[in-house]
Chain A
Amino acid sequence: MKSVFEVGFTRGLLEIKEFFRERDAVIFTAALPAVMLILFAAIFHFKAPGTNVPAAQIYTTGLMAGGVASTSFVSMAVAIAVERDTGGLKRLAGTPMPRSAYFIGKVVRVVVVSVIEIALLLLIGVVFYHVKLPRTVALWWTLIWVTLLGSAVMGVLGVAISSLPRSSRSAPAVVNLPFIVLEFLSGIFIPFFMLSKGIQHFALLLPLAQLAEGYRSALLPATFAHLEVGGHWNHLAVLENLLAWLVIGFAASLFTFSWGTEHSRGKFPRLRSYDKIDQGS
């Protein structure tokens, strides 16, 4: 018998295999942020005030954050709702698999897919929009930890929200509304500095805006920093915020997560109805 981490890691690899075999889903999941980046770059040609930074570069960083969120938060919430509906979760709950191994597997999957998404968007940004790769080891390190931590946070939040939809059919609809609101508030579609100060301060409480600031700090020139809240890139705030949301997401998952069995019903009120499983013969 293997340790929790071995099982979780094995499960993560298995999920990655499964994910990549659904080629149409892979292509469209990866393409969505890339296509939006290309559209935004084609539509907007302004430069950030007081800098030489073109809109396309700002959108590159924004959609990297948005891309991480969609490959982790949205796809995780939907994938788990599907697993619950098809009986996969219940099957796992019937085995001696340590419960945490399942979540470790999800994190492994989400991080790998997000890294690929980030690489793709970065490639587009560098090739077409003259985004400069980080020039120092410290900035590369920023790019790496922001991506790893950001995708883990978004993945865990996806797990937490996955028990909210009543079924896998309604999952995309339920998850997309909060996600799109979050994207607007976090400066993914409209550059963050253009939002009102009030919205900026509020949004910086949420993880996506901090994730986007992390990417701006790693990839945009130092002259851009004066447009941020406080006039500089606040890595400590990014780190603190993401760690806090990691804890919140993890705790919420423990409370809300349902394996599709009576024992594991979350303790939160939810939209999900259990009438279906209660009608068992």
Chain B
Amino acid sequence: MTANVIEVENLSKSYKGRQVLSSLSFQVEKNSCVAVLGLNGAGKTTTVEILEGYRTPDSGRISVLGEAPENSGSNWRARIGIVLQSTGDLGELRVKEAIDFFSSLYPNPRHTEEVIDLVGLTEQRKLPVRVLSGGQRRRVDVALGIVGRPELLFLDEPTTGFDPEARRQFWDLISSLKQLGTTIVLTTHYLEEAEALADKIVVINKGRVITEGPPDELGRGPDEDCLVRWRNDDGEKVEIRTADPTFLVASAYKERGGELVGLEVYRPSLEDRYLKLISEEGR
């Protein structure tokens, strides 16, 4: 058994002559959280759906939990959990009923009550899913994804439509799942979400992995531009972009002979770096 839960090598896929994925490769280590980022149409969902066994690749080698998803059976399915993009299928079922049913499909499920507490729906457990808010419904989706005690959990844009508080709570939930030993693959459009949750980010553009790495290293180079800002004696803002912020601040301090009022130094945020990476690639 390798330490990688997912191994993807040279994955290619086209629909009706349109190339969607071309030689895409990456790995997901056991007990890590990997965020797959990319613009709409970059190939994220196709990639994840191939890993989930919903789609067949044209070529390439894939191993998910040691098996090829397309040939896998219910034993393999029992080891993974899937939270799809928004669904609307549960309507009249109550939260507890839905979780009870899905738990009956797995060989070693979590207790319904435990799952309800974990996703924070204790007060809503007897309500029909229909009357829940968008964020609460999403928690039901997550509950159904984790009730089978999956070793590997796929989350496809899990927090779309959440308010900031709900998003924070959701992040806490994912962190606690990770502590319980779950490997997580996440797609998202929220960079701060990837930053908060992921050990590794994989950026996909035009069906290829253009870069991958830990969130705080992604897209950083020795020559990255920092933004340095302070106010001069007239109270006007001075803003300078430089690859050598320490040198700049030191010389400005020497020149002025005293404190730089309102000094701020920004390294490029993950979002800045991500957008730069993608624009360098060309869309």
Q: How far is the CA of A187 from the CA of B188 in the complex (A)?
A: 57
Contact between chains at A281 and B77 (CB < 8 Å): no
Give the chain B neighbours of A22 by CB distance below 8 A.
91-92
Contacts of A10 in B (CB 8 A): 101, 104
Interchain residue pairs with CB less than 8 A apart (14): A1-B105, A14-B93, A14-B97, A86-B87, A87-B89, A90-B54, A91-B89, A94-B52, A261-B49, A262-B55, A278-B16, A280-B46, A281-B42, A281-B44
Structural contact, A7 and B104, CB atoms closer than 8 A:
yes
Does B15 lie within 8 Å of A278, measured CB to CB?
A: yes
Q: How many Å from the CB of B220 to the closest CB on chain A?
A: 26
| Residue ranges of B at the interface with A (Cβ–Cβ < 8 Å) | 15-16, 38-46, 49, 52-56, 70, 74-75, 77-78, 80, 82, 84-93, 97, 101-102, 104-107, 128, 144, 148
Asked if A91 and B54 make an inter-chain contact with CB atoms under 8 angstroms apart, the answer reads no
B92 lies within 8 A of A21 (CB): yes
Once the chains bind, are B45 and A88 in contact (CB under 8 Å)?
no
Q: Known A96-B75, A96-B78; judge A18-B92 contact (CB<8 A).
A: yes
Q: Is the CB of A281 within 8 A of B93?
A: no
List 10 A-B pairs, minimum CB-CB distance, nearest first. Answer: A88-B89, A87-B87, A280-B45, A96-B74, A94-B82, A96-B77, A21-B92, A261-B54, A86-B88, A86-B89
Q: Does A49 sit at the interface, judged by CB under 8 A?
A: no
Q: Establish whether residues B41 and A88, one from each chain, have CB atoms under 8 Å apart when the complex forms.
A: no
The distance from the CB of B215 to the nearest CB of chain A, in whole angstroms, is 21
Q: Is A2 at the interface (CB under 8 A from chain B)?
A: yes
Contacting pair A1 B89 (CB below 8 A): no
- A210-236 interface mask toward B, CB cutoff 8 Å, 1 = contact, 0 = none? 000000000000000000000000000
Q: Which of A88, A91, A279 has the most B CB atoms < 10 Å from its CB?
A: A91
Instruction: List chain A residues, Cβ under 8 A from B43.
Output: 281
- Residues of chain B within 8 A (CB-CB) of A89 are 89
Distance in Å: Cβ of B274 to nearest Cβ of chain A: 16
Say whether B105 contacts A91, CB under 8 Å: no
The contact of B56 among A11, A88, A262, A281, by CB within 8 Å, is A262
Cβ A91 vs Cβ B144 within 8 A = yes
| Cβ contact within 8 Å between A263 and B54 | yes
Output the nearest chain B residue to A280 by Cβ-Cβ distance. B45
Which A-chain residue is minimally distant from B106 (CB atoms)?
A96
A7 to chain B, nearest CB (A): 6
Q: Do A94 and B84 touch (CB < 8 A)?
A: yes
Pairwise interchain contact B105-A95, C-beta atoms closer than 8 A:
yes
Do A7 and B44 have beta carbons less than 8 Å apart?
no
**With A17-B97, A280-B46: A7-B105 Cβ-Cβ less than 8 Å:** yes
Given A87-B84, A278-B15: A263 touches B53 (CB 8 Å cut-off): yes
A278 → chain B, closest Cβ, in Å? Answer: 5
Interface string of A1-44 (1 = CB under 8 A from B): 11000010011001001100110000000000000000000000
Closest to A14 in B: B101
A95 in contact with B93 given A262-B54, A263-B70, A280-B46 (CB within 8 Å):
no
A280 to B53, CA, bound (A): 15
A residues less than 8 Å from B40 (CB atoms)? 281
Known contacts A1-B105, A21-B128, A87-B86, then 16 further A-B pairs from the complex at CB < 8 Å, ordered by chain A residue: A10-B104, A14-B93, A17-B92, A18-B93, A94-B54, A95-B102, A96-B148, A97-B74, A97-B105, A98-B74, A263-B54, A263-B55, A263-B56, A278-B15, A281-B39, A281-B46
